[in-house]
Structure 1
Amino acid sequence: MNAFDYWSIAQGALATVVLSVASIVLGVPLGLGLALIRWARVPLLNRVVVAYVSLIRSCPAVTLTLLIFFALPQFGISLDPTPAAILALTISTAAFNCEIWRAALINFPRDQYDAALAFAMPRTVRLRRIVMPQIWRASLPGLVNEMTLQIKSTPAVAVIGIVEITRAALRVGARTYDPLPPFIFALLLYGLVVFVLIKAQRVIERRQPEEARA
């Protein structure tokens, strides 16, 4: 492998990070919104969310990516590979994030919410000051775990032409007829990205007790 080969795989790593960050930024709050709908048992919407989560969790990311990229044009919606990949990854991770948030909401002591309701605290304030701080702490490990899985799911979007880490390593290995070095380098890059994510989780967890005391 020469310097250009390493640079090619590094560019693939950049694509992986961009796709992962974009889908995580969109998928985490979307998953929270879906979980709140289920927690509140909103009529009709609750059933729609249950069907959505069940369907998406059973659908492989590569199948979802192909469906979005090739099926949407049939309805007059054509997406470039990058937006299609972000949409597919967001839809996928939102379903899993929904269940992580919902588990925290189920374990949330409802009497605290009812006590705030008794004092006529507005709903948005109840969610922001009472519910969210507690379910955020409970959900953080599961959310970070889902984020790491999301990063490792990005090779699925290579089927629509996205060159991420694995696709870039595959190209270099095919050109050099020596696949081991590029895939070892790709593995190191994946490890670096996940290490940064886990490090951020630990920093957030250390800061939470300080914020609670403040």
Structure 2
Amino acid sequence: MSGADIAAIFGGAVVTVSLSLVGILIGLPIGLGLALIRWANVPIVARIVVLYVSVLRATPLVTLLLLLFFALPNIGVPINPISAAILALVMNTSAFNCEVWRSALMGFPKDQYEAAQSVGMRAGQRFRRIVLPQIVRVSLPGLVNEMSLLIKVTPVLAVVGVVDITRAAVRIGSETYEPLPPFLVAIALYAPIVFALVSLQRWIERRQLAVEAAA
């Protein structure tokens, strides 16, 4: 395997990290917003959110991706492979993130929220200062697990032509007739990416504990 082949796999790693990062950064707040709608039990909208989350959680990512890529142009919405990949990742991870956030919200002691309300704190302040710090701590392991899964399912994006780590490794293996070396390189790249997420989780948890100890 040549240096150019290794560089191609590293290029796939850049694509994997970039698309995953965009999906995570957009999917996290969307998932939180959906969970808040369900937590607040907003009439009609909450039922729509339940349907949205249920359908997307039951739909394989590759099926969702192909549906977006081929169906949207048929209704006059042009979409390229990268845009379809990002949209599919965001829709998929936001649905799973919604359930992680909602689980934390369901366990949140509402008496704290009501106590803050009784002393005159506005809704936005109550959420930022009382609710959010606690649900972030509870949700963090589940959210990081979902982020890791999102990174590891990016190979399905190859069905619309997106060249990620695995796609690049497959192409090089087919060209060189030596599939093992490129896949070993691919594994060597996936491992530190996921390790970085886990390390970030542990850093955030340590920081939260330090803040609570100082309070």
Is the structural similarity TM-score above 0.5? yes
Structure 1 residue aligned with 2:43: 43
Residue correspondence of structure 1 range 46-85 to structure 2 within 5 A: 46-85=46-85
Structure 2 residue aligned with 1:191: 191
Residue 50 of structure 1 deviates from its aligned partner by: 0.3
Secondary structure (helix, strand or coil) at the match of 1:130 reads: helix
Residue correspondence of structure 1 range 112-131 to structure 2 within 5 A: 112-131=112-131
Structure 2 residue aligned with 1:14: 14
Secondary structure (helix, strand or coil) at the match of 1:111 reads: helix
> In the aligned structure 2, how far is the partner of 1:153 from the partner of 1:78?
24
Structure 2 residue aligned with 1:29: 29
Question: Which sections of structure 1, spanning at least 5 residues, go unmatched?
Answer: none
> In the aligned structure 2, how far is the partner of 1:48 from the partner of 1:68?
20
Residue 13 of structure 1 deviates from its aligned partner by: 0.5
Q: Give the residue type in structure 1 aligned to 2:164.
A: E
Residue 75 of structure 1 deviates from its aligned partner by: 1.5
RMSD across aligned positions (CA): 0.8
The CA deviation string for residues 154-194 of structure 1, in whole angstroms up to 9 with x for no partner, is 11111100000110000000000010111111011111100
Q: Give the residue type in structure 2 aligned to 1:25.
A: L
Q: TM-score, normalised by structure 2?
A: 0.98
Tell me, yes or no, if structure 1 residue 176 matches structure 2 residue 180.
no
Structure 1 residue aligned with 2:99: 99
Secondary structure (helix, strand or coil) at the match of 2:23 reads: helix
> In the aligned structure 2, how far is the partner of 1:110 from the partner of 1:92?
29
Q: TM-score, normalised by structure 1?
A: 0.98
Residue 44 of structure 1 deviates from its aligned partner by: 0.4
> In the aligned structure 2, how far is the partner of 1:153 from the partner of 1:120?
46
